Structure 1
Amino acid sequence: MGEAGEIHLQIEGTRSEEADNHNGTSPATAAPASPSMSERLRWWAVVIVNIVFVLGGQSVATLLGRIYYDQGGNSLWMATLVQSCGTPLAVPLLLYLRRKSKPSARTRPPVLKMAAIYAGLGVLLAGDNLMYSYALLYLPLSTYSLICATQLSFNAVFSYFINKEKFTALIFNSVVLLTFSAALVGVSHGSDSTNSTVPVGKFPLGFVLTLSASAVFSLILSLNQLTFDKVLKSDTFYDVMEMQFWSNTAAAAVSVAGLFISGEWSTLGGEMAAYKAGKVAYGMTLAWTAVSWQLTTMGMMGLVAAVSSLFTNVISTVGMPLSPVVAVIFLGDSMDGVKVLAMLIGLWGFFSYIYQHYLDDAKVKKIRAEGLSVSSADDDEKQSVKVSTE
């Protein structure tokens, strides 16, 4: 997993040199050196591991979050805190990577500048986690998961304006379909019946909070990618882990402050005693939720650095159609025809995006087969084939 950023950086370095020659003293006449088969396989292995972290961690964490509420948990700030307090688990790996990392000639950004960026991302993340906590309390898990699929639509827009990623017809189709999928869930909530302890009459607020949280989450991913590209100018795995650690530490600090300021800390003892499954189950639920979110965050940050924020959100969205099925099996949520239709439309939107990347990959292969320099393509094309060239 630690090699993803290094491989990506090597390839980006090759492209940067070509761009310098193309714009500078000597024209680029030869095609850039393609990564070896072993490098490509290693890069894909790293990406697959991160994908497993995202899909597995996200599914388990979301399910445990709903179980926490159903079994008698009611502290919104505690539910928010467990989404970012797993950062100590990353300390051994961070120390190992720091010891193994090779000295770099590049100048590191000023400490105060990076501290401000991490603090800002942490505050955004804490607010986003709080909105997700409210949304999960107010909605059945199946409905919540389907609405969360709109985060891909938001991320496509943010990636276009912030990260300058190409916005093609297929991606636009994906955005429309995922938005329509969420709208179907929104207008059909009257048919929801569930065995979970969802507050009556809170659906509209839960719907709005889920949409808002999805938008902020997408913004955070795009800002992470912008930080890697424009501030750190590096995406080694150490940089990925460092950003993940400090931004989540800041989010955890905000959540702890919220827990004490709100007074919810004084109710935790009674909440644990009244937990239906018992005190041990209460502690285990929170602990495994924190671990699951930590794995999810590590996977997401790895994908943002190795590929892009939009690709990361696509992978995150893949797990959304699976969550309603899990909710039906384990939580007794209803699965009516409208939800099934919304799930199928969401999958259609997802595969539209994947097909766009297939076309991008074919374009890059054609360019290389003709012996052309990737740097001779325009900026939009280069951005759209970022995943494939790696």
Structure 2
Amino acid sequence: MGDAGEIQLQIRGTQEQQSLHKDATAGNQPPKPSSSFKQWRWWLMVALNIFFLVAGQTVGTLLGRLYYNEGGSSKWMLTLVASAGYPILFLPLLLFPSPTSTTSFARVPITNIAFIYISLGLMVAADNLMYSYALLYLPISTYSLLCATQLAFNAVFAYFLNSQKIPPLIFNSIMLLTFSAALLGIQSNTEDSKYIPKEKYPLGFVLTLGASATYSLILSLMQLTFQTVLKTETFSVVLRMQIWTSFVASAATVAGLFASGEWRRLEGEMDGFGKGRVSYVMILVWSAVAWQVAAVGIVGLVFVVSSLFSNVISTLGLPVVPIFAVIFFHDKMDGVKVMAMLIALWGFISYIYQQYLDDSEAKRAIRSDTEAGSGVSIPP
């Protein structure tokens, strides 16, 4: 449905071009500026949502590492803040309602919707928990580079669940990201972070890959839900899915926090936190806010462009984190990591170029169909 939304945007843009072309031919009038204004506004929305996604993702990851470095040890607490900020999302839901979303939801039995939200929410909770453990056991630079494999996992799951093809460039991207992860996997003995025991590196490596695979599976299942169950992908529908899955994930995480007994240690953890009690609370609060800012960016890109584009931007933002990790946490950036980053970037470029080719082909098809139906030649 993300691709359908993108095609609809392209059709609307083509129709506007056709209308302007007719007006200019009939009355020798220059095209109205409304089309360029709409295009400028569209690009502004895309840029703003990209900023929200990359900034929120980067800040959330860095604050998570800071939490561990300063004495925090509760994996369940860090898991909770990844989803507990979901009430913030009610603000854009109220400000930008979609009038068609209620009708779309009315066609789907409430039991089906509840089952989808609960299932995805539990998967999100498990995924966040794996990420929390992985961030504890890996340097943040290694962690972020390994998370880039979610793009490869996404292509595989999209092939099996969403019937998306894997052209040669996408296959090339998958292989490059796999090689990048393999390089990081063989360098466990080179890590020298004073906060991370070396014997935990293999576990952190496996958990990061597992979390990346689970995250990609969640995205593909959400896409499948939009395509086959909800059969719509308006802003409100996407935002509501984000809100209710986060609610379920938060509830499951709170249950895990109490079941594990970690809640008993939170008071002592706060007292012994390196930067003080206030900083402890502020790190957790702003981490929760950061992840929801990223969620707003994800939802915005899904609505404005497509879910695939949203995932690509999310993955492209990951190499930003190692740069800040070197600056703020003095992570070691040796030759192996640099090589892994370059290979991952090569994989990103390969992936994006394939999307560019697909998008260009779709635009040509739309332009050809529109010209054939109207008999009017549309300027490129």
TM-score under structure 1 length normalisation: 0.84
Matched, 1:8 2:23: no
Q: In 1, are the aligned partners of 2:235 and 2:299 still within 8 Å (CA)?
A: no
Matched, 1:318 2:316: yes
Q: In 1, are the aligned partners of 2:137 and 2:196 still within 8 Å (CA)?
A: yes
Q: In 2, are the aligned partners of 1:228 and 1:305 still within 8 Å (CA)?
A: no
Return the letter of the residue paired with 1:157: V
**Paired position in structure 2 for 1:386:** none
Return the letter of the residue paired with 1:342: A
Q: 1:242 aligns with which of 240, 243, 262?
A: 240
Matched, 1:362 2:352: no
**Paired position in structure 2 for 1:25:** none
Moved more, 360-369 or 279-288: 360-369
Quote the Cα distance in structure 2 between the aligned partners of 1:171 and 1:9.
20
**Paired position in structure 2 for 1:181:** 180
Q: Identify if the C-alpha distance between structure 1 residues 365 and 95 changes in structure 2 by more than 3 Å, giving closer, same or farther.
A: closer
Q: In 2, are the aligned partners of 1:235 and 1:306 still within 8 Å (CA)?
A: no
Question: How far apart are 1:230 and its partner, in Å?
Answer: 1.7
Return the letter of the residue paired with 2:166: F
Matches within 5 A, 1:1-390: 8=5, 11=8, 33=15, 37-98=36-97, 101=99, 106=104, 107-195=106-194, 197-371=195-369
Moved more, 293-302 or 345-354: 293-302
Quote the Cα distance in structure 2 between the aligned partners of 1:211 and 1:45.
34
Moved more, 32-41 or 209-218: 32-41
Quote the Cα distance in structure 2 between the aligned partners of 1:103 and 1:297.
19
Quote the Cα distance in structure 1 between the aligned partners of 2:372 and 2:57.
36
Question: How far apart are 1:116 and its partner, in Å?
Answer: 1.0
Question: How far apart are 1:362 and its partner, in Å?
Answer: 2.6
Return the letter of the residue paired with 1:160: Y
Quote the Cα distance in structure 2 between the aligned partners of 1:353 and 1:81.
32
Question: How far apart are 1:190 and its partner, in Å?
Answer: 1.3
Post-superposition Cα deviations, 1:270-321, rounded to whole Å, max 9, x if no partner, equal: 0000000000100000000000111112222333344444322211111222
Q: In 2, are the aligned partners of 1:154 and 1:215 still within 8 Å (CA)?
A: yes
Q: Identify if the C-alpha distance between structure 1 residues 84 and 269 changes in structure 2 by more than 3 Å, giving closer, same or farther.
A: same
**Paired position in structure 2 for 1:26:** none
Q: Identify if the C-alpha distance between structure 1 residues 43 and 108 changes in structure 2 by more than 3 Å, giving closer, same or farther.
A: farther
Quote the Cα distance in structure 2 between the aligned partners of 1:34 and 1:319.
33
Question: How far apart are 1:41 and its partner, in Å?
Answer: 4.0
Quote the Cα distance in structure 2 between the aligned partners of 1:283 and 1:309.
33
Q: In 2, are the aligned partners of 1:72 and 1:274 still within 8 Å (CA)?
A: yes
Post-superposition Cα deviations, 1:325-344, rounded to whole Å, max 9, x if no partner, equal: 11111001101011101000
Q: In 2, are the aligned partners of 1:152 and 1:310 still within 8 Å (CA)?
A: no
Q: Please, which runs of 5 or more residues in structure 1 have no aligned partner?
A: 16-31, 376-390
Question: How far apart are 1:356 and its partner, in Å?
Answer: 1.0
Post-superposition Cα deviations, 1:105-124, rounded to whole Å, max 9, x if no partner, equal: 55431222111111111000
**Among the aligned pairs, what percent are the same residue?**
54
Q: Identify if the C-alpha distance between structure 1 residues 217 and 374 changes in structure 2 by more than 3 Å, giving closer, same or farther.
A: farther
Post-superposition Cα deviations, 1:29-77, rounded to whole Å, max 9, x if no partner, equal: xxx8467555544443333222211111111000000000000000010
Quote the Cα distance in structure 2 between the aligned partners of 1:278 and 1:91.
32
Q: Identify if the C-alpha distance between structure 1 residues 14 and 308 changes in structure 2 by more than 3 Å, giving closer, same or farther.
A: closer
Question: How far apart are 1:194 and its partner, in Å?
Answer: 2.2
| SS in structure 2 at match of 1:202 | helix
Q: In 1, are the aligned partners of 2:124 and 2:246 still within 8 Å (CA)?
A: yes
Q: In 2, are the aligned partners of 1:118 and 1:246 still within 8 Å (CA)?
A: yes
Return the letter of the residue paired with 1:111: I
Q: Identify if the C-alpha distance between structure 1 residues 93 and 302 changes in structure 2 by more than 3 Å, giving closer, same or farther.
A: closer
Q: Identify if the C-alpha distance between structure 1 residues 347 and 206 changes in structure 2 by more than 3 Å, giving closer, same or farther.
A: same
Return the letter of the residue paired with 1:260: F
Q: How many residues align?
A: 353
Quote the Cα distance in structure 1 between the aligned partners of 2:362 and 2:11.
15
Q: Identify if the C-alpha distance between structure 1 residues 227 and 322 changes in structure 2 by more than 3 Å, giving closer, same or farther.
A: same
Q: In 2, are the aligned partners of 1:83 and 1:289 still within 8 Å (CA)?
A: yes
TM-score under structure 2 length normalisation: 0.86
Q: In 2, are the aligned partners of 1:155 and 1:309 still within 8 Å (CA)?
A: no
| SS in structure 1 at match of 2:199 | coil
Question: How far apart are 1:89 and its partner, in Å?
Answer: 1.3
Question: How far apart are 1:12 and its partner, in Å?
Answer: 7.7
Q: In 1, are the aligned partners of 2:56 and 2:293 still within 8 Å (CA)?
A: yes
Question: How far apart are 1:218 and its partner, in Å?
Answer: 0.4
Q: Identify if the C-alpha distance between structure 1 residues 13 and 370 changes in structure 2 by more than 3 Å, giving closer, same or farther.
A: closer
Q: In 2, are the aligned partners of 1:174 and 1:353 still within 8 Å (CA)?
A: yes
| SS in structure 1 at match of 2:165 | coil
Quote the Cα distance in structure 1 between the aligned partners of 2:76 and 2:206.
19
Return the letter of the residue paired with 1:353: Y
Quote the Cα distance in structure 2 between the aligned partners of 1:155 and 1:148.
12
Q: In 2, are the aligned partners of 1:125 and 1:248 still within 8 Å (CA)?
A: yes
Moved more, 337-346 or 223-232: 223-232
| SS in structure 2 at match of 1:201 | helix
